A and B are shown apart, each in its own frame.
Chain A
C-alpha cells in the first residue's frame, strides 16, 4: 500500500467555495492543499482533472445484513460496495438477525467494520428485538459510540413506546430515526396505494400511512424536546410536514432515498419484485416533489437504504418477495442527475451526500473509542483524509454482474448514469479506484 497520495488537477469543493488545487494525503491526514504539489518519492498520483475533490460520502442508511443474512451481504461486501460508490462511512442498520439491540451485537458489527476499508458506524435498535415493545439498552449502546437508533424495517407502532424512547434518548444526545409507515395501514401492502395498485390487484401501502406517522412523531418530538431523524421520506406531503416543523425550530432531520426520486410506481406494472421497496415507489408527482426538495434544501440527506437480497428471493411472486433494492453503488450518480447533472451545485451534492449526513450521524469529530475517523469536513490541511475524487462527467453503465455487493437486486441494471467516484480515500488509504474496491 502506498502511504502517500497526491490528488492532482481537481477542484476542491469546500463548504462555501471551490477552487483548483492539488491535495497531498499522508498517514491518514490531509497534509497539504496547494495550487501545485510535486509527488515525492513513492507517492501515488491520482489524476483528478475534471473531478470534484470533496469529503468522502456518508450513508445514513445501509443494510449490511450481517449477522444473520450473509447470503445477501456481509459487512465486508457492503463496505466494498460503499467504497466503490464513493462512501467513506456508512451507518449499518440494525434489522439483522438477531437485531442489533445489545452491546455485544453492536460491538460485533463495529469490530467487523473496523476490518474493512471504510468506517462502519452502527444504528442500534430502539426496542428489544425491534418488536416495538420494550426499550433496548440505548444508554449502553450510546456509551459504545452509537449515535442513531431505529427499528427500521418498521416504525415503532406504539405512540407511547415511541414517546418513552424519545424521552429516554433526549438527555443522551442521541437521535432516534423512524421508518414512518403506520403499521395497521400497510399490513399486506406491496406497492403504493392508488388506482394502479387497484388495477394490478396488489394491496396498497398508502402515502397516508407514512404521513400519519410523520405527523405523530413530529408531535412527539415537540412534546419531548428530543431530536429525531426521518428515514426515507417518499411523499411530497411528508417532506412538507418535516420542513415546516424544522422552520418552527424542532430538531428534526430528513433523508430521501435515490429510488424515491428516480423511479415511480409505474415501475411495478410488470410485477418485477426488483421494484418492491418500503416505503413503496410513489406517484410521479411525489418523485417531482422530492427532486425539488433536494434542490431547495428541504431535506438534509440522500441516504441509500441499500437493501441487498439474495437472488432467489427476488424470483418469488411480487407479494411474496422481500422489499428493498441496492443503493450504494449508484446513489451518487442518481443524486447528481436529480440536482441537474452538469449544472448540479457541487456544494449541494456534498451537503446531501456527506456533510449533513455526517452531522446527523455525529461523525464530524470521529470517535476514537470505536476507531471511527472524522467525516463530512473540509478538504483542508490537518483533517482526517476521508476524501472522494468524483468525476461528474464520467458516463458508465450499471451492470448487476459487476457490482461489489453480494446481491444483484439493482433496479438500474443496464442504465447509463453520469458521475462516478474515481477514487475513494478513507483514513488516508485508497480503498476504491475506478470502479474497483481495493
Chain B
C-alpha cells in the first residue's frame, strides 16, 4: 500500500518513461497518418503524398470504396464481437481465458458446412426453401457449438475447479489442439466449401440510398446484432442472467442465495458457445469456406477484442469486436498507406495487435473495463 503510494508520488522510473514514449509515439503515428490521409483525399498531389509515394500522386479512395471498408469492418467486427463474448463471459465467471473458445467457433462453422451441403444436395439451399433452411442451419450450429462448450467444461475444466487459474488456461490450449486435430482427423486438413448462396443474397443492395451492401453482409450484421441483443436481455433481464452475474462476482454468496453455481457455470459456457456457433455459421455464409484452423486467428482476434473492450464486460466485448474489425479494415488504408507503407493491407494483423497494445498502454483495464478494487478480487 505505502509502496504503491510512494511509487505514484515519486519520480518516474525508466519503465514509466518508456511507456510514455510508446504512448506518445503510437498516438502521433495515428495523428500524422490521419492528417496525411485527409490531405491526400483533398489533394492527392500534395507534397507529402508525393514524397511518401516515390514522387507519384497518391490514389484517393472513392466514397463507395470507403463505405465498403466500413461495411466489411463492421461485419467482421460483429463476428469478432460474438466470439469475444464467450471469452469475456468465461473470464468473468471463472477468471481464466478459455483459449479453446476459437475452436467452438470453428466447430460452428464446420457444422454449418455439413448442414449446408446436405441441405443443398436435397435441394433446400435455394428458392423459397432457403430461408427456413438457413434458419434451421443456424439453430443446429448454435446447438452443436453449445454442446461442444458444455462438454469442454465438463471434461476439461470442471475437474480443475479450484486449482490455480494458470492451470485451466494451459489446459485450454491443449483442448484447442485436441479439437483442431479431431476435426482434421474427421474431415481432413483441406478447406471445405459451402454451397453458393442464392443470388439475391450475394447482390449488393442499397440501404436508404446511403450505402450499397451485399445482402449477406446485411444478414451477418443483423443476425449478430439480434444475437447480442438477445444475450444482453438474457444476462440483464432474466433470473438466470442475474444469477450468472452474481456467480461471476462472488460464488460463495451466490450459492448462499441458493444459486446452483455449477449449473450457472455450465450455462455460461453454453451461452458463450451459442454465440460462437452463430459467429461460425455467419462466417461460413459470408466466406463460404472453412478449414480446421479457421478458429485460430479469429479466436485470437476475438480475445484481443475482449481485452480491448475490457475483459469480463459484455458490452465491452461487443464494442471491442467492432472496434477491432473497423480498425483492421480502415487503418491500413487510412493511416499506413498515406504514410507510404507499401503493401499496407498485409499489416492488418499488426494493426489489430497494435490496437491492443495501445489500449493496454492508455487504459489497461480496456475501453469499458472497471478498475476493480483489491477488495473485489481478494
Same complex for A and B? Answer no
Spell out A's residues near B (CB within 8 Å). none
Binding site for A on B (CB under 8 A): none
